[in-house]
């Protein structure tokens, strides 16, 4: 970087020596690091054709000849560009007095020698005007954090507000702030403090601090301004303290309770309380709270709505949330009005709703009516997304787009009629960049065009800022909306620029830095290549690309000979030397000379001529089928001192041989052989194959065409026309036949959004290969469809076309009857009918509902009822004249706006049952053990109130009240039962009732039963046993019952051994028993208990081991934790089973 560019005010001189070499003294300009170019938060890309120049430049190289004397040399500018001193003299070169003739390069023109003049250039510039800023890392401010709009509660306890601002810059940025367009005075100790780049406002108030704020970041390169941030103050006052008037209406009518919210900013959310907190009103089909007005709507009131209502309004702000309650208002209901009335929409969305792209749009619609109306939404000029809730009082579009703009309709419908309301959603958008400016380096004296473009609705306007100040047209600078044009750039044009796009919805900024450069030619980064190999008979291009600003004038020499354009030798306007039909005589040193008003430099390379590369065996064209393999041959000769490489391309794109699972292989490893093998050829492998044999100096190539035959490609342009209710006309364009004629087409359709592709019937039934249109038959009315087309040839069926645009077939009356007719149950006097709702594909049109016809079995006339809504699935007919469990004949049909569909088959449905009216008779009860009793009865007279499901037995102890009775139910028509879990030796009262689905009938007269005394509470004791070869004899002491225990009539013994783990039961009336035991039995488990009228007693359990000795672990788990182990022969005390501790009346429950 020249030293004069680093100083704010400095004068220097450029001098040339009188020797044969003239070198510029200017050092190269800085190269900005890539990181310094990135503009955080800004969208930037290079603007084509802007004349910018990036990258470092090499130091100047000494010139060895005088390019300015040659007739092909174009002199530099005679005047310095703007921004440099006017004391400018064009610096000529020092030339040799004579130039030799070189036959192969042409004859140079002789010129007089000139003395090299001293050039003095005086410059006055500032760092902002120079392309050099002191170090390679110098760059202008780039925002990393910008202020955001803030909503501050007026009642907040926060003591300060912080608006963020931080920029990356080198040197570091300094900061200023503007409020409402005026720069703020940020003094120490004031309420407004600058902390880093952030603005801190202490004790903010609306009167002093509400407004629009902008941050300005500056360094020596320039200034940028941030986006605007608006500081607003929010508030929510209290509701009026006055009592609210009661609201009166008839039960069954609709009603609206106004919220009348207090003054507030911003908007509120609303909920309603009934009587007390937190009893909030639910959001269901009957209640609706408008989030626009806060009002509460009840579609049809009933007795549960009586009470006191309070509106809860909530404000959400950045620092806090506040809620306030209104005074309670009483809702009074007059006598019930059971009349049915058609819907009337009370909560209506506006005729026009404006929304910004990406916002959520909410449309409200709620109606009064009896029955409660069903809400449905539709888009008049389009279709609704299936993800939107279309049967709710609010239609929410979660992220609105321009495609959502249109007219929306809400329909409220019940059995008495319908009401509709329409409104238009108008979608607009904040500005959004389509094209932004990016950092630019441009040569001094050059022209520059910069542009930005933004989209939005309304269309944004565009303006420009330079160093934070508005930029208007002036000499050399033209401002045309989104275009900024400079002519003859000067150093003073350097700085920070911002393109600003704005409409009424917002403002966006794009920032970039313009650096104007003035540099002498420099080859240090891009010297001429030192060794330049070239092929004999070929062509070579030697670039000359010094870094220079303005662009340098270039000429070439070979040795001491200046080159001029000829049939073989050309110097392009860009400075590249091109030599054609190269021969050995072209070898030698070539030097590029570059010069501008800042200085001059040169660079030299040596040209070496090599043998040319040739294809000796070229690939041949081929024709194969899909799945075949093929080898393309390619052999070449080349200069033996050079390495040879084969490169294959398909349709000029290089082939990747290393791709995993690829189809290409190299067929030979020899250096001069580059054969290509295609494995399992696919359609995409057909095309023009080029084999290129390449060295570092030249290449040779040959082409061959491979044709792959296969199934046809996908047809295109599927268009749907002539849409009917069950038919459409499809047309399409032919796809590629892939070199085999198309034989036929197949049409497929699917329902949207989740249907599967299925083949459809067509007219004609078989579509020939030359057809491009056909009619689709058998579609479902009022259904969304997409269609596609598949082509087939002798090699198979190809890929399908892309789906057509979605269409909806026209509406028609339903063609299928609803199914699943059933019913029954309900309250007395009701007939309930159920059915399976019709799915979308069978509705055939909008406004779908059901027509139900019913009559008492055997009567002649039919009653009908219309049930709106496709999701309806039951109907209740209520009339006091309907007798219980009366059979009705029922049939159903669907309807829509196009008419009624066919009726279903007649089903038999019974009206609601009532409780049985006849009590059972002849109830008899008897205790059969200490915890059980048997109960029997007779059913009594046949009852027609419903289907008898069984009987309910109620029993309670004598002395207790019947309300404390236990209950047990039987299923079916059996007239006897055993009741268990009773207390021993206790008298019970018993009644029996019949029951059906409606409930339980009257009680029978009560009967009495007394349970037996409990069995003895002691197990058999002194158990002894004796083994023989084939039997086991066991004895025990008899159990004598106590006075409060039942008699012992015998004993029960459970026996289990190691060969038969399933226990066997033995009964005996004596106190001993013999059991046949095989000789191989080694272990036995025995459990003995008493039995008698009171039931079974407590068991005694023993574990017997044959042949005495030691007690081993049993080969099976013990039946209780209290079992006894016994050895050989003998007698031991028994252990009581833990279950014996349970009270007698508790066992078996």
Closest by CA to 133, choosing from 226, 31, 250, is 31
**For position 753, what pLDDT does the model report?**
83
**For position 1124, what pLDDT does the model report?**
32
Question: Would you state the structure tokens that stand for residue 371, as one six-digit string?
Answer: 């029955």
Tens digits of residue pLDDT in 1104-1117: 887 653 333 344 44
**For position 39, what pLDDT does the model report?**
40
Question: Which positions ≥6 away from 877 have C-beta within 8 Å?
Answer: 830, 831, 832, 833, 854, 863, 865
The kind and range of the H/E element at 36 are helix 34-37
For domain 139-233, which CATH number applies: 3.40.50.2300, 2.60.40.10, 3.40.50.2000, 3.90.550.10?
2.60.40.10
Average pLDDT of span 73-82: 39
Q: How far from the centroid of its chain's Cα atoms is residue 11's Cα? A: 64
Average pLDDT of span 18-37: 34
* Strand-pair category, 761-763 with 1130-1132: unpaired
Question: Would you place residue 136 in the very low, low, confident or very high pLDDT band (cuts 50, 70, 90)?
Answer: low
* Domain 819-910 shares a fold with domain 921-1010: yes
Tens digits of residue pLDDT in 245-254: 999 999 889 9
Average pLDDT of span 712-716: 95
Question: Would you place residue 519 in the very low, low, confident or very high pLDDT band (cuts 50, 70, 90)?
Answer: very high
CATH architecture group of domain 819-910: Sandwich (2.60)
* Phi, psi dihedral angles at 655 (to 5 degrees): -90, 130
Q: Could you tell me where the DSSP H helices lie in 125-209?
A: 206-209
For domain 248-339, which CATH number applies: 3.30.590.10, 3.40.50.300, 3.40.1260.10, 2.60.40.10?
2.60.40.10
Tens digits of residue pLDDT in 825-866: 888 889 999 999 999 889 999 999 999 999 999 999 999 999
**Residue 741 in this model has a pLDDT that exceeds 70:** yes
* Strand-pair category, 352-356 with 417-435: parallel
What residue spans define the domains of the chain?
139-233, 248-339, 341-430, 436-517, 519-610, 614-709, 716-809, 819-910, 921-1010, 1021-1105
For domain 716-809, which CATH number applies: 3.30.565.10, 2.30.30.60, 2.60.40.10, 2.60.40.420?
2.60.40.10
**For position 949, what pLDDT does the model report?**
92
**Residue 469 in this model has a pLDDT that exceeds 50:** yes
Distance (Å, whole) CA 687 – CA 675: 17
DSSP conformational letter for 305: G
The DSSP bridge partners found for residue 589 are 606
CATH number 2.60.40.10 given to 1021-1105: yes
DSSP conformational letter for 6: H
**For position 156, what pLDDT does the model report?**
85
Average pLDDT of span 559-577: 94
- The domain made up of 436-517 has a fold known as Immunoglobulin-like (2.60.40)
**For position 481, what pLDDT does the model report?**
85
Instruction: Out of 30-44, 375-389, 643-657, give the one with best mean pLDDT.
Output: 643-657
Closest by CA to 1126, choosing from 1025, 1035, 1019, 1018, is 1025
* Average pLDDT value for the chain: 84
Q: In 335-482, which ranges are E strands? A: 341-347, 352-356, 361-364, 366-370, 374-379, 394-397, 406-414, 417-435, 440-443, 448-451, 453-457, 461-466, 469-470, 477-480
**Residue 502 in this model has a pLDDT that exceeds 80:** yes
Tens digits of residue pLDDT in 629-655: 999 999 999 998 899 999 999 999 999
Task: Determine which of 100-109, 235-244, 408-417, 1012-1021 has the lowest per-residue pLDDT on average.
Answer: 100-109
**For position 73, what pLDDT does the model report?**
38
Written as one string, the DSSP assignment of 919-978 is --EEEEEEE-SSS-EEEEEE--S---SS---EEEEEEEETTS-GGG-EEEE--SS--EEE
Is 246 within 8 Å of 329 (Cβ atoms)? Answer: yes
The CATH code for residues 921-1010 is 2.60.40.10
Distance (Å, whole) CA 414 – CA 869: 8
Tens digits of residue pLDDT in 538-567: 999 999 999 999 999 999 999 999 999 999
Half-sphere exposure of 868 (CA within 13 A, CB side): 21
Question: Would you place residue 754 in the very low, low, confident or very high pLDDT band (cuts 50, 70, 90)?
Answer: confident
Average pLDDT of span 1041-1056: 92
Tens digits of residue pLDDT in 190-238: 899 999 999 999 999 999 999 999 999 999 999 999 999 999 999 999 9
Question: Would you place residue 1004 in the very low, low, confident or very high pLDDT band (cuts 50, 70, 90)?
Answer: very high
CATH superfamily of 519-610: Immunoglobulins (2.60.40.10)
- The domain made up of 614-709 has a fold known as Immunoglobulin-like (2.60.40)
CATH architecture group of domain 341-430: Sandwich (2.60)
pTM (2 decimals)? 0.51
């Amino acid at each position: 970087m020249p030293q004069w560019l680093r100083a704010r005010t400095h004068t220097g001189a450029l001098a040339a020596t009188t020797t044969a070499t003239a070198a510029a003294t200017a050092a190269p300009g800085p190269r900005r690091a890539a990181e310094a170019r990135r503009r955080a938060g800004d969208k930037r890309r290079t603007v084509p054709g802007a004349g910018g120049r990036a990258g470092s430049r090499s130091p100047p190289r000494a010139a060895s000849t005088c390019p300015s004397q040659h007739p092909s040399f174009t002199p530099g500018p005679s005047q310095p560009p703007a921004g440099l001193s006017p004391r400018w003299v064009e610096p000529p070169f020092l030339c040799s007095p004579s130039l030799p003739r070189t036959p192969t390069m042409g004859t140079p023109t002789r010129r007089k020698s000139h003395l090299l003049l001293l050039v003095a250039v005086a410059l006055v510039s500032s760092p902002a005007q120079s392309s050099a800023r002191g170090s390679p890392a110098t760059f202008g401010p780039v925002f990393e954090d910008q202020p955001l709009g803030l909503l501050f509660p007026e009642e907040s306890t926060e003591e300060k507000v912080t608006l963020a601002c931080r920029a990356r810059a080198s040197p570091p940025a300094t900061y200023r702030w503007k409020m409402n367009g005026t720069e703020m005075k940020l003094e120490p100790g004031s309420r407004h403090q600058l902390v880093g780049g952030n603005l801190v406002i202490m004790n903010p108030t609306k009167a002093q601090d509400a407004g629009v704020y902008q941050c300005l970041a500056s360094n020596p390169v320039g200034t940028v301004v941030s986006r605007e941030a608006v500081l607003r103050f929010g508030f929510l006052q209290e509701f009026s303290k006055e009592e609210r008037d009661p609201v009166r209406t008839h039960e069954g009518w609709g009603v609206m309770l106004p919220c009348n919210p207090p003054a507030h900013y911003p908007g509120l959310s609303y909920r309603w309380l009934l009587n007390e907190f937190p009893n909030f009103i639910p959001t269901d089909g009957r209640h609706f709270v408008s989030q626009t007005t806060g009002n509460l709507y009840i579609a049809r009131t009933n007795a549960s709505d009586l009470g006191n209502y309070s509106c809860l309004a909530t404000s959400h702000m950045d620092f806090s949330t506040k809620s306030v309650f209104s005074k309670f208002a009483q809702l009074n209901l007059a006598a019930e009005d059971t009349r049915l009335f058609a819907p009337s929409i009370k909560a209506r969305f506006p005729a026009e709703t404006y929304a910004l792209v990406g916002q959520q749009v909410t449309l409200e619609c709620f109606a009064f009516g009896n029955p409660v109306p069903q809400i449905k939404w539709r888009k008049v000029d389009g279709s609704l997304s299936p993800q939107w809730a279309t049967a709710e009082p609010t239609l929410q579009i979660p992220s609105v787009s321009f495609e959502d703009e249109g007219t929306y309709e809400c329909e409220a419908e019940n059995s008495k009629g319908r009401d509709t309301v329409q409104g238009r959603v108008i979608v607009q958008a904040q500005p959004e960049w389509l094209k932004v400016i990016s950092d630019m380096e441009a040569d001094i004296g050059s022209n520059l065009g910069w542009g930005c473009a933004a989209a939005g609705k309304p269309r944004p306007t565009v303006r420009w800022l330079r160093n934070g100040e508005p930029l208007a047209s002036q000499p050399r600078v033209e401002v045309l909306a989104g275009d900024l044009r400079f002519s003859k750039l000067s150093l003073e044009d350097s700085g920070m620029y911002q393109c600003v796009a704005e409409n009424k919805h917002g403002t966006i900024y794009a920032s970039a830095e313009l650096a104007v450069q003035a540099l002498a030619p420099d080859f240090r980064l891009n010297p001429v290549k030192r060794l330049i190999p070239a092929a004999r008979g070929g062509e070579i291009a030697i670039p000359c690309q010094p870094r220079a600003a303005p662009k340098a004038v270039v000429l070439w020499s070979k040795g001491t000979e200046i080159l001029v354009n000829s049939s073989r030798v050309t110097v392009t306007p860009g400075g590249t030397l091109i030599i054609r039909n190269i021969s050995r005589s072209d070898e030698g040193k070539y030097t590029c000379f570059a010069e501008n008003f800042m200085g001059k430099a040169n660079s030299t390379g040596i040209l070496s001529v090599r043998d040319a590369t040739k294809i000796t065996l070229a690939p041949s064209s081929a024709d194969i089928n899909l799945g075949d393999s093929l080898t393309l041959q390619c052999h070449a000769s080349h200069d033996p001192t050079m390495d040879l490489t084969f490169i294959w391309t398909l349709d000029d794109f290089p082939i990747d041989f290393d791709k995993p699972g690829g189809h290409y292989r190299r067929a030979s490893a020899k250096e001069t052989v580059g054969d290509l093998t295609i494995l399992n050829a696919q359609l995409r492998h057909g095309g023009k194959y080029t084999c290129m044999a390449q060295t570092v100096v030249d290449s040779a190539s040959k082409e061959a065409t491979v044709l792959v035959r296969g199934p046809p490609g996908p047809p295109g342009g599927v268009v749907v026309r002539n849409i009917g209710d069950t038919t459409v006309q499809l047309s399409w364009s032919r796809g590629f036949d892939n070199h085999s004629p198309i034989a036929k087409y197949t049409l497929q359709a699917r329902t949207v959004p989740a249907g599967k592709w299925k083949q459809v019937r067509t007219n004609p039934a078989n579509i020939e290969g030359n057809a491009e249109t056909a009619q689709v038959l058998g579609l479902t009315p009022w259904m969304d469809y997409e269609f596609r087309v598949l082509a087939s040839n002798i090699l198979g069926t190809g890929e399908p076309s892309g789906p057509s645009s979605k269409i909806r077939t026209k509406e028609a009356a339903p063609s299928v009857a609803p199914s699943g007719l059933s019913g029954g149950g309900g309250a007395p006097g009701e007939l309930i009918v159920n059915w399976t709702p019709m799915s979308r594909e069978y509705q055939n049109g909008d406004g779908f509902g059901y027509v139900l016809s019913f009559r008492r079995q055997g009567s002649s006339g039919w009653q009908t009822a219309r049930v709106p809504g496709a999701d309806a699935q039951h109907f209740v007919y209520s009339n006091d004249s309907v007798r219980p469990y009366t059979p009705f004949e029922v049939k159903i049909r669907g309807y829509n706006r196009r008419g009624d569909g066919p009726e279903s088959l007649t089903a038999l449905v019974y009206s609601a049952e009532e409780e049985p009216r006849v009590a059972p008779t002849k109830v008899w009860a008897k205790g059969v053990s200490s915890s059980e009793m048997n109960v029997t009865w007779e059913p009594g007279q046949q009852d027609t109130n419903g289907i008898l499901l069984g009987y309910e037995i109620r029993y309670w102890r004598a002395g207790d009240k019947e309300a404390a009775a236990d209950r047990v139910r039987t299923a079916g028509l059996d007239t006897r039962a055993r009741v268990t879990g009773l207390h021993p030796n206790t008298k019970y009262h018993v009644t029996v009732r019949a029951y059906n689905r409606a409930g339980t009938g009257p009680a029978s007269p009560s009967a009495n039963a007394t349970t037996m005394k409990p069995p003895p509470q002691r197990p058999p004791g002194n158990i002894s046993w004796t083994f023989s070869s084939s039997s086991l004899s066991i004895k025990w002491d008899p159990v004598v019952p106590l006075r409060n225990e039942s008699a012992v009539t015998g004993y029960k013994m459970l026996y289990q051994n190691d060969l038969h783990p399933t226990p066997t039961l033995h009964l005996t009336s004596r106190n001993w028993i013999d059991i046949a035991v095989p000789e191989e039995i080694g272990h036995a488990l025995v459990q003995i208990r008493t039995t008698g009228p009171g039931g079974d007693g407590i068991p005694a359990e023993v574990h017997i081991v044959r042949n005495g000795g030691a007690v081993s672990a049993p080969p099976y788990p013990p039946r209780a934790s209290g079992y006894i182990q016994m050895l050989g022969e003998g007698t031991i005390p028994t252990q009581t089973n833990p279950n014996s501790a349970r009270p007698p009346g508790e066992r078996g429950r």
